[in-house]
Structure 1
């Protein structure tokens, strides 16, 4: 037996060192870092025991998720911006539409007032023309009432057949007119016996200026419609120098109230008044104020 067999050792028992865990963590690019974790117990100078643990690596898939999330956020922002722009455009268009509608209503109202004013003026002019024609008719009727317009009204013997005028029933006087004047004369003579209606222009009823205008229209000469204008439509001629086709007028030149056609031989044809109609008569029956020559 060894002499040292029962001699206790003075060396302190060896304690097991705490484990130090080394964590190997992979970073997105594959970089490794080591983390040492010491046990809670044991002296600071204990010999460390290391253990390496592999941590999961941040892969490119996670980076892709981050990118997708960023793209989604950007799309949402873009959509919000687009909606804001659309809303602003709608508001602007609505305002413009309201303004245009108000302007259209304003113009329509102005046009309506303008049309009403034009209609009122036209109505007033028509009434003035009607009043003028009524005055002419009254004057002619008054003149006719003072004369005995019939073949039996002459101062001579009834057997002589002479008269101051020719009624519509009498045979028309043969005119010496030629050319266009003859056509004018023939036209008015063909309508002797037609009715007189104020404002009428044929074919079977006339007023005085309507008959004169139609007589000239059928040879291609356009005359004014009313007596006042017809009395200045040609060259003024003396009543002692009349030719068939001349226009006779009663009243002043430019203010005449009645017109007729001279057919020659001291006779004229004219639409006299509602009671007489279209007649052929002597100048002595109703002497005109003047005459104009168109042909």
Structure 2
């Protein structure tokens, strides 16, 4: 091949500027025509926005559902709160009833215990009175037998009272009452007006001056201030036995003499202290 032969080039030949401009103008015209045709479409075409009209309806329905749900929730909450209040009230009522029942039971037990104590006290007092009565009866029986024996042997120092009391006031009044009963019978448990036991006569004598004494000898022996037998005054209560457990009482009338309901054999007598020496004395006036 000749060195001067023409070699075919692989490069595309350049288009001329006029052809390029022509093609660009054609393309622009086509695009403009399409745009104009789209803008000038049919006048009776359906609007695109017609499909969005249902949105407000959907939104209103959802709001109603939410409102109904809120109302139902509120109603349930109200029911639960009311039920809680009812339960609390029922619990409080049960506790109140339980407390009232316990209180009533405590009162019942206290009353029953009080009745038992009262019954026991009455039984003890009755037993005490019976014991004292038995002791007095035994003592008086012994004294009666002793007095009869002494009288028959001529060794008795008993005498008929000859002392004239000079006591006045309350002491004089109770002594006058006691002396007025001399000669009455002795009957266990009697309080006059024609028969007496020892403590019944003493109690009645003091009652004349407005002083209430215990009924039995044991209590009368501690009803006042203990005094010595060497320092007696008219109206003092004499007792035989121990203070608090005495089995016999009488009234000191002065001049070394006393008045007392001694025993069934002698009745109410006025005697000297050496006829039946007492154990002690108490002063009430």
TM-score, reference length from structure 1: 0.58
Instruction: Give the Å deviation of 1:251.
Output: 2.9
Match of 1:272 in 2: 262
Q: Based on CA coordinates, which of the two structures has the bigger radius of gyration?
A: 2
Where does the alignment leave 5 or more consecutive residues of structure 2 unmatched? 1-41
Is 2:135 the counterpart of 1:119?
Answer: no
Deviates more, 1:242-251 or 1:132-141: 242-251
Match of 1:29 in 2: none
Is 2:271 the counterpart of 1:282?
Answer: yes
Check the 8 A contact 2:136/2:248 in 1, yes or no.
Answer: yes
Check the 8 A contact 1:172/1:280 in 2, yes or no.
Answer: no
Cα 1:191–1:108 change in 2 (3 A) is: same
Match of 2:105 in 1: 105
Match of 1:210 in 2: 200
Is 2:277 the counterpart of 1:261?
Answer: no
Which one has more relative contact order, counting CA pairs under 8 Å at least 6 apart? 2
Instruction: Give the Å deviation of 1:248.
Output: 2.8
Instruction: Give the Å deviation of 1:90.
Output: 0.8
Instruction: Give the Å deviation of 1:209.
Output: 2.3
CA distance in 1, matches of 2:98, 2:104: 10
Query: Which one has the bigger strand percentage?
Result: 1
Aligned partner of 1:35 among 51, 63, 80: 51
Instruction: Give the Å deviation of 1:86.
Output: 0.7
Match of 2:228 in 1: 236
CA distance in 1, matches of 2:45, 2:279: 146
Q: Deviations over 1:71-111 (max 9, x none)?
A: 35523430232123312431453255235524642563365
CA distance in 2, matches of 1:20, 1:165: 163
CA distance in 1, matches of 2:54, 2:243: 126
SS of equivalent residue, structure 1 residue 35: helix
Match of 1:41 in 2: none
RMSD of Structure 2 on Structure 1 (CA):
4.5
Match of 1:28 in 2: none
CA distance in 1, matches of 2:46, 2:162: 150
Instruction: Give the Å deviation of 1:130.
Output: 2.1
CA distance in 2, matches of 1:218, 1:267: 21
Check the 8 A contact 1:216/1:223 in 2, yes or no.
Answer: yes
Aligned residues: 236
Match of 1:136 in 2: 136
TM-score, reference length from structure 2: 0.60
Check the 8 A contact 1:187/1:215 in 2, yes or no.
Answer: yes
CA distance in 1, matches of 2:71, 2:185: 97
Instruction: Give the Å deviation of 1:185.
Output: 0.9
Check the 8 A contact 1:209/1:258 in 2, yes or no.
Answer: yes
Cα 1:122–1:68 change in 2 (3 A) is: same
